Amino acid sequence: MAAFGQFIPGSQQKNGESVPVSASERLQELVRRNRRGEKVGVYAVCSANPSVIAAAVQQAVEDESVLHVESTSSQVNQWGGYTGQTPIQFAEFVHAAAQKAGLSRDRVLLGGDHLGPYPWRDQPSKVAMQNACELVRACVLAGYKKIHLDASMACADDSAGGPDEHTVAQRAAILCHAAETTFEDLPPDSWPLLYVIGTEVPAPGGESLSGAPPAVSPADQIHHTLDLFHTAFDEQNVTSAWDRVIGMVVQPGVEFGDNLIFDYDREKAMALSSALPEHPALVYEAHSTDYQKPVALAEMVEDHFAILKVGPWLTFAFREAVFALSAIEREWLAHRGGVRLSQVRETLDAAMLRNPSYWRSYYRGSEVEMRLARMYSYSDRCRYYWNDAAVQQELEQLHANLRASPPPLTLVSQYLPLEYAAIRAGGRPANFEDVIQEHIRSVLRVYAAACGVKRMPQ
């Protein structure tokens, strides 16, 4: 049997007509199979970086799988988010990248991550929830089919400890009501909405600041949390959506920070893995799985943490490839006259210093330590700055220099040995964007293997 979302050519009968199996239906089938004990899962690409999306598209093509991409409420919202994109613009961007590679719309699953009041948490809960409901409606109208209902973050009028579980469940149900009523305005043959819930939800982007490993969610709270959400759904008259709750966000004990990684320990998560109820037949959604070992990711899927979210590791790989290409450029062109070398790293750091809002509260230490963290931290806060106009100009300069004067493979071997091996094995051209995407795909292949889509990389 094929793994999710391995694409099986064919269709199903609906209203007497033959129609493709939707990505939503494939995800529901994955959940059922995982709960039956099959070692299958799905990874969600949580990024708006164009190179990351292009690499994910190519990986889905190679694996004959579904492309699963999610945007957070901070990245993409009705006011643009930090990417400057609304949900419809982001959806069009992803579909355009998929279409260019020959990936049909039924093989693309769009999800909204942390959809809730988080971007407006400095405002009273009433205002923040109004904005959150507007965001959910915009996502549904844009074609998002997997909705993470996240009302776990404290708003301005909540207590310092944040809202209690009952309030979180009630607010999530209000968001679900907004999604369901909006869905009624879509064509009658639209794919169903799927939901992810939970009260113990890491902040968007993850990133432990304490230096201590996170505690695994208590197993004895799972049924209590589900009961709270089920009651809240009933109160909001969205009971029919309960059967489409496919995931629950919990803390399996994995996290990463500035320069540390907390690895998955399946012994500590054993009770949680066994605590899933028969109904609804959901699985766990694991956030902050970035940088986990391949064997750990495979164990997580086997232990019913079947939806793996990955984001910063992919842009970390993007940054690694760009810096390596910049080093190749300097080795290759520094002593040639008439060539302006790019200044990607210097310009990126300057952009971060001009606007420290995305990294200031994450990095600690001396000036030297913070300079290193800005560029090389696992937290990868520099991912927020690649769209800066000056940084983009330097990336284009780097691209132009290497396109005009392609470097020898000996330099590729020195700075990008994995990509050198791929070029030698398959005769792939060593152009700028292909090299970057190949480096990103080295991470995606680890997730594909863990989810049962392909053989584990050696």
Domain extent listing, the chain:
21-310, 315-442
pLDDT tens-digit profile of 268-285?
Answer: 999 999 999 988 899 999
Task: Assign 3-class secondary structure to 413-446.
Answer: HHHCHHHHHHHHHHCCCCCHHHHHHHHHHHHHHH
- Does the 315-442 domain belong in CATH 2.40.160.10? no
Where are the alpha helices (H) located in 9-49, listed in sequence order?
23-35
pLDDT tens-digit profile of 334-367?
Answer: 999 899 999 999 999 999 999 999 999 999 999 9
Whole-number pLDDT of residue 21? 86
pLDDT tens-digit profile of 47-106?
Answer: 999 999 999 999 999 999 999 999 999 999 999 999 999 999 999 999 999 999 999 999
Q: What is the dihedral of CA 345, 347, 352, 354, to 10 degrees?
A: 160
Calpha distance 416→248 (Å, rounded): 38
- DSSP at 76: B
Using pLDDT thresholds of 50, 70 and 90, give the confidence band for residue 196. Answer: very high
> Is residue 404 exposed (0-12), middle (13-18) or buried (19+ Cβ within 10 Å)?
exposed
pLDDT tens-digit profile of 110-127?
Answer: 999 999 999 999 999 999
Calpha distance 87→144 (Å, rounded): 8
In the chain, % helix, strand, coil (3-state, to 5) comes to 50, 10, 40
What mean pLDDT do residues 236-251 have?
96
Angle between helices 432-450 and 50-63 (to 10 degrees): 60
Neighbouring residues of 199: CB distance < 8 A, sequence distance ≥ 6 = 152, 165, 168, 169, 225, 228
Calpha distance 359→381 (Å, rounded): 6
What mean pLDDT do residues 11-24 have?
63
Neighbouring residues of 352: CB distance < 8 A, sequence distance ≥ 6 = 358, 359, 374, 381, 382, 385
Q: In the beta sheet, which residues pair with residue 109? A: 68
Using pLDDT thresholds of 50, 70 and 90, give the confidence band for residue 430. Answer: low
Residue 141 has pLDDT above 90, yes or no: yes
Neighbouring residues of 420: CB distance < 8 A, sequence distance ≥ 6 = 409, 412, 413
Residues 21-310, CATH architecture: Alpha-Beta Barrel (3.20)
Whole-number pLDDT of residue 456? 40
pTM listed for this prediction: 0.93
Calpha distance 185→136 (Å, rounded): 14
Whole-number pLDDT of residue 1? 30
